[in-house]
């Protein structure tokens, strides 16, 4: 993805999201100017929409439940205030500190997060010692510079671990990759920090209307927080909610959440899971039957009941649990659209990037179902674009989609274009 090479966007890898070019095109098409607008992303992730809106001179507002993602998005939005010369001086001090620690064999004072558990050691002993020494150095810094070091560590921490994304977080050994016995942690972190220092100047030079306030990111579910925005105040909504694929967005940032102190116990991660759009199959599978919102279209009901009827002999692994999961998901789609209707001004556009699904072999056209729910809320469905006619969905269960087909269906990705009337 182009984001991996783009200034500021490249600071942190993110498993989900859309390209900066998509957002740029959306801004050019729907907010051509000259007056700036208000751009909203209700599921902001690490801030692709917000950064591009901010660069273009618009007011950027986002909601995000994952505190690590919020930390990243806020750091990016503040990149124009980063003091590059001061950061470079701290990088030099850091490299010298780490070299001296290695030379003298100094035992680190920091300790790994007590509640963070993995099936195999996340770091080898040699790597963990260097990581903890890096945390010792961060403890000597003032808050703004320390935050940048924490971000650089978080952006690189999986690289020198015994885990990787395939696409979910798992052991390197499980996919035939060697474990990391040792690595130059200091050099990797320093290289990321140098990249951030370079990008800060670019951001300052590129950012339109530089005297205005930074974009805002609320660490809160959009469902609970949208009324913080004035009714009818948003000119463009660009977002990609979690897909109906049971992908654990929060669980896959578990190392970052624990090592940065955003989670200190499993209950903290559980709270994030309960806030996620549509919860997870594991949280819904034991319930007898989750009812759909009464306003939801009959076609959606029929598809969910078709899922519910599949494989009853398999208990929680059969259709009923997956039907409950889908019902929660579409109920939350309705909640999302209720919030969007509150925020958008009349005539404003919402662009929702969403992927379809296949549950228990039953095709679920999530884009068309979302559009139907939107129409019931008073939106005009302007178009459904399909920019990706094929995508991989490794967390879909009980389908042959991995082989490229499932009952004649395939996984694709759409942009649902809505107009608020």
- Domain of residue 278 covers 2-67+212-253+266-420
- Say how far apart CA 29 and CA 225 lie, in whole Å: 28
Residue 20 maps to which CATH number?
A: 3.40.50.150
Strands 59-63, 38-41: pairing is parallel
Angle between helices 48-55 and 20-30 (to 10 degrees): 50
Is the same domain home to 233 and 352? Answer: yes
Is the same domain home to 49 and 196? Answer: no
Tens digit of each residue's pLDDT (9 = 90 or more) over 197-209: 999 999 999 998 8
Q: How confident is the model at residue 403 (pLDDT cuts 50, 70, 90)?
A: very low
Domain count, the chain: 2
- Span 38-63, mean pLDDT? 97
Is the same domain home to 221 and 338? Answer: yes
Listed residues 181, 204, 227: the one ending a domain:
204
Is the same domain home to 189 and 244? Answer: no
Q: How far apart are the first and last CA of the chain?
A: 34
Is the same domain home to 380 and 237? Answer: yes
- pLDDT value, residue 400: 44
pTM metric for this prediction: 0.94
- Say how far apart CA 115 and CA 148 lie, in whole Å: 24
Of 30, 24, 59, 63, the residue nearest 47 (C-alpha): 63
Is the same domain home to 357 and 240? Answer: yes
Cβ pair 262, 252 in contact under 8 A:
no
Tens digit of each residue's pLDDT (9 = 90 or more) over 127-166: 999 999 999 999 999 999 999 999 999 999 999 999 998 8
- Say how far apart CA 297 and CA 337 lie, in whole Å: 14
Q: How confident is the model at residue 18 (pLDDT cuts 50, 70, 90)?
A: confident
Domain contains 74 = no
- Say how far apart CA 409 and CA 417 lie, in whole Å: 23
Q: Is the dihedral of CA 126, 127, 130, 132 positive or negative?
A: negative
Is the same domain home to 177 and 158? Answer: yes
Is the same domain home to 339 and 413? Answer: yes
Domain contains 73 = no
Domain contains 137 = yes
- Quote the tokens at residue 416: 């649902």
Is the same domain home to 397 and 317? Answer: yes
Strands 234-239, 38-41: pairing is parallel
């Amino acid at each position: 993805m182009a984001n991996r090479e783009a200034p500021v966007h490249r600071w942190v890898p993110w498993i989900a999201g859309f390209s900066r070019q998509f957002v740029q095109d959306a801004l050019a098409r729907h907010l051509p100017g000259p007056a700036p607008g208000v751009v909203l992303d209700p599921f902001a992730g690490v801030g692709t929409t917000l950064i591009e809106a901010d660069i273009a001179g618009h007011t950027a507002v986002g909601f995000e439940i994952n505190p690590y993602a919020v930390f990243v998005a806020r750091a990016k939005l503040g990149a124009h205030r980063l003091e590059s010369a001061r950061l470079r001086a701290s990088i030099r001090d850091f490299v010298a500190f780490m070299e001296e620690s290695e030379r003298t064999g100094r035992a680190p004072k920091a300790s790994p997060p007590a509640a963070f558990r993995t099936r195999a050691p996340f770091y080898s002993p040699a790597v963990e010692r260097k990581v903890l020494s890096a945390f010792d150095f961060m403890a000597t810094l003032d808050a703004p510079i320390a935050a940048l070091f924490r971000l650089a560590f978080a952006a690189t921490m999986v690289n020198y671990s015994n885990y990787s994304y395939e696409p979910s977080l798992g052991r390197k050994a499980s996919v035939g990759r060697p474990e990391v016995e040792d690595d130059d942690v200091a050099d990797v972190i320093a290289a990321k920090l140098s990249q951030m220092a370079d990008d800060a100047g670019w951001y300052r030079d590129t950012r339109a209307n530089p005297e205005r306030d930074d974009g805002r990111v609320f660490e809160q579910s959009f469902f609970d927080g949208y009324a913080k925005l004035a009714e009818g105040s948003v000119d463009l909504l660009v977002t990609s909610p979690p897909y109906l694929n049971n992908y654990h967005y929060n669980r896959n940032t578990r190392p970052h959440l624990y090592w940065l102190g955003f989670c200190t116990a499993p209950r903290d991660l559980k709270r994030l899971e309960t806030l996620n759009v549509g919860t997870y199959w594991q949280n819904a599978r034991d319930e007898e039957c989750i009812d759909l919102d009464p306003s939801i279209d009959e076609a959606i009901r029929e598809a969910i009941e078709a899922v519910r009827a599949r494989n009853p002999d398999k208990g929680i692994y059969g259709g009923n649990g997956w039907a409950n999961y889908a019902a929660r998901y579409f109920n939350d789609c309705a909640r999302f659209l209720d919030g969007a209707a509150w925020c958008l001004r009349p005539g404003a556009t919402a662009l929702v990037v969403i992927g379809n699904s296949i549950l228990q072999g039953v095709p679920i056209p999530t884009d068309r179902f979302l559009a139907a729910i939107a129409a019931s809320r008073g939106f005009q469905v302007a178009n459904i674009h399909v920019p990706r006619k094929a995508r991989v969905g490794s967390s879909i269960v009980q389908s042959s989609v991995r082989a490229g087909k499932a009952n004649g269906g395939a996984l694709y990705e759409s942009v649902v274009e809505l107009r608020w009337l």
